[in-house]
């Protein structure tokens, strides 16, 4: 007897074994519990934890007194220079210097807003490919031939698959944020307003890495990046409609992204249902 949704029978044999399936569900439940059991399309706790671990793995020392002083001096000079180049006045916010983990925490809420629609789209695709409970409309005709034990377990199994999808998305997004934290040189480096407060911020360690190999004095590199940061912060501070417009456009674009349900079905067809780790790997394979 074939099992719907591309899964084979536990153990690879032709006979259905409810005990083996129950053990598999218990193991998957333990994995979900360790992952936080988030009901959101993206498991944000895992995303934050993964990003912080990636940052820590690369080393993330606190900003030193010297780095803070150099940053404040560069931003103060940039404020003076840019006064004659723009009609937007200074924000009046104190300049700052962050380590990479501080950047992550300060911008995480904005990333949730930006990334969230992608998670919603992925979750919707999974819901279409994997109906949420046995007997729901759209289930394959083979379901009527399944033993009652399997039909009763199918709903929880698919619910767990969705949660594992949220865990996988959280892990992938966390890895991306961790990598980005090692590259951005300021709070507004990517051109998107990621902080609520329009405050000029540099990330000294990344600024130093940016200047390596340029044959330009470090203080000149710092001032250049400070000028760019000050200009961005003044723009978003004094054009109040710009921040929500930019973030709204990104959200709208993200909601228009569609995932390939056929590809999802093909991936799941080759997954061993007795191996939750393999299922999670498949969910993260794209």
> Tokens representing 108?
């995480």
Please check whether residue 138 lies inside any domain of the structure.
Answer: no
Q: Give residue 254's pLDDT band: very low, low, confident or very high (50, 70, 90).
A: confident
Sign of CA pseudo-dihedral 245, 247, 252, 257: positive
Please check whether residue 177 lies inside any domain of the structure.
Answer: yes
Question: Which residues span the domain enclosing 270?
Answer: 41-130+163-283
> Is the model more confident about 254 or about 279?
254
Phi, psi (rounded to 5 degrees) for 97: -135, 130
Report the share of the chain in percent with pLDDT over 90.
44
Give the DSSP letter string of 183-220.
T--BTTTTSS---SS---EE-HHHHHHHHTTS-S-HHH
Query: What is the four-CA torsion angle of 130, 135, 136, 139, rounded to 10 degrees?
Result: 50
Mean pLDDT over each residue of the chain, to the nearest integer: 78
Q: How many domains does the chain have?
A: 1
Average pLDDT estimate for 111-130: 75
| DSSP H/E element including 245 | helix 242-255
pTM exceeds 0.85, yes or no: no
Query: What's residue 96's pLDDT?
Result: 94
Taking residue 143's Cβ as centre, other Cβ atoms within 10 Å add up to 17
- Helix, strand, coil content of the chain in percent (nearest 5): 65, 0, 35
> Tokens representing 178?
């961790």
Query: What's residue 41's pLDDT?
Result: 79
Query: What's residue 284's pLDDT?
Result: 55
Tell which phi-psi region holds residue 37, choosing left (phi > 0), alpha (psi between -120 and 50) or beta.
left
Please check whether residue 171 lies inside any domain of the structure.
Answer: yes
> Is the model more confident about 36 or about 86?
86
What's the half-sphere exposure (Cβ side, CA atoms, 13 Å) at 254?
A: 18
Please check whether residue 149 lies inside any domain of the structure.
Answer: no
Average pLDDT estimate for 6-17: 47
Asked whether residue 19 carries a pLDDT value surpassing 90, the answer given is no
Alpha carbon distance 110, 262 (integer Å) = 31
Average pLDDT estimate for 122-138: 53
Please check whether residue 142 lies inside any domain of the structure.
Answer: no
Q: Which residues pair with 97 in a beta bridge?
A: 202
Alpha carbon distance 96, 104 (integer Å) = 15
Whichever domain contains 174, its CATH number is 1.20.150.30
Which of 83-87, 234-238, 255-259 comes out lowest in average pLDDT?
255-259
Asked whether residue 142 carries a pLDDT value surpassing 70, the answer given is no
Please check whether residue 25 lies inside any domain of the structure.
Answer: no
Please check whether residue 5 lies inside any domain of the structure.
Answer: no
> Tokens representing 151?
């039909």
Alpha carbon distance 242, 249 (integer Å) = 11
Asked if 186 contacts 228 with a C-beta cutoff of 8 angstroms, the reply is: yes
- 188: nearest Cα among 255, 91, 254, 119: 91
Sign of CA pseudo-dihedral 167, 170, 176, 177: negative
Query: What's residue 134's pLDDT?
Result: 39
pLDDT tens digit sequence for 256-275: 877 666 665 666 566 555 55
Please check whether residue 82 lies inside any domain of the structure.
Answer: yes
């Amino acid at each position: 007897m074939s099992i719907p949704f591309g899964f084979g029978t536990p153990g690879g044999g032709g006979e259905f074994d409810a005990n083996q399936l129950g053990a598999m569900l218990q193991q998957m439940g333990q994995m979900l519990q360790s992952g936080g059991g988030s009901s959101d399309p993206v498991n944000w706790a895992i995303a934050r934890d993964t990003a912080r671990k990636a940052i820590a793995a690369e080393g993330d020392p606190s900003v030193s007194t010297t780095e803070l002083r150099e940053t404040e001096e560069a931003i103060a000079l940039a404020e003076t220079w840019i006064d004659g180049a723009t009609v937007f006045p200074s924000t009046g916010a104190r300049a700052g210097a962050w380590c990479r983990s501080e950047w992550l925490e300060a911008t995480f809420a904005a990333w949730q807003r930006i990334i969230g629609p992608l998670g919603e789209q992925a979750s919707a695709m999974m819901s279409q490919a994997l109906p949420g409970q046995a007997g729901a409309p759209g289930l394959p005709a083979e379901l009527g031939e399944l033993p009652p034990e399997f039909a009763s377990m199918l709903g929880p199994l698919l619910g767990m698959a969705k949660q594992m999808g949220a865990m996988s998305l959280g892990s992938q997004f966390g890895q991306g944020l961790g990598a980005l934290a090692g590259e951005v040189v300021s709070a507004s480096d990517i051109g998107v307003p990621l902080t609520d407060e329009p405050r000029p911020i540099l990330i000294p360690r990344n600024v130093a890495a940016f200047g390596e190999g340029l044959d330009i004095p470090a203080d000149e590199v710092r001032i250049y990046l400070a000028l760019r940061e000050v200009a961005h912060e003044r723009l978003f501070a004094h054009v109040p409609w710009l921040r929500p417009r930019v973030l709204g456009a990104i959200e709208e674009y993200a909601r228009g992204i569609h995932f390939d349900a056929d590809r999802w079905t093909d991936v799941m067809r080759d997954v061993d249902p007795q191996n939750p780790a393999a299922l999670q790997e498949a969910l993260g394979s794209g």
